[in-house]
Amino acid sequence: MVNIGVLISGNGTNLQAIIDGIDKGIINGRIKVVISNRKDAYGLTRASKANIESIYLDPKECDAITYDRKILHELKKRDVDLVVLAGYLRILSKKFIEEYKNRIINIHPSLIPSFCGKGYYGDRVHSAVLEYGVKYTGATVHFVDEGTDTGPIILQEVVKIDDHDTVDTLKEKVLEVEHKLLVQAIELFCQNKLSIKGRLVRIRSEENEKSID
């Protein structure tokens, strides 16, 4: 069983999707700890309700590198194998990414490489999508590297934009896809079905395994 650590900054709906996925037996893992950089993040309450250990670490108490070291300490203390960024609004340090290379998953509310990178987070993404006038957006789950939203892509799904969509309605449609994709990606990771070659993430299927045998 894979030990999972989840980093959050807000409401925690993606965290709830992971909790539900574990409860339903979809994800062969367990959340060992939820860590937030915001004291009022409702995701901490969600964790407590699910009897999951939750921690608030104040980023104002130290510099960014020291802050990441504190998080790493909490994760390693609990033997965390996989780190999931579920609406975590901080950039991870190089040291953090090296410690969990190819074991950090992030969810982004657009079809990377569109509407991603520095400054593209939360409602800003959906606002930019609507302003640009594209007809489709979506969600992306990817591994985290040293760039911002530049890591190898695991899963993506398209969301159609309607003429009457607002930031709020589009956000809800994309969130629904986010929840599904994030659970699927974690499920695949826990089943050891993901491999990375360059920028390509391969998903091992039962058919592939049979052909190898």
- CATH code of the domain in which 122 resides: 3.40.50.170
Question: Average pLDDT, stretch 98-125?
Answer: 96
Whole-angstrom distance, CA of residue 202 vs CA of residue 154: 8
> pLDDT tens digit string along 1-58?
999 999 999 999 999 999 999 999 999 999 999 999 999 999 999 999 999 999 999 9
In this structure, of 47-56, 79-88, 141-150, 197-206, the range with the lowest mean pLDDT score is: 197-206
Instruction: Read off the pTM.
Output: 0.93
Q: Is residue 213 part of a domain?
A: no
**Phi, psi of 130, rounded to the nearest 5 degrees:** -70, -40
Range of the domain at 96: 1-100
Q: Is residue 108 annotated as a catalytic residue, yes or no?
A: yes
Q: Is residue 130 part of a domain?
A: yes
Closest CA to 87 of 51, 126, 35: 35
Of 73, 108, 126, 164, which one is the catalytic site residue? Answer: 108
> pLDDT tens digit string along 75-95?
999 999 999 999 999 999 999
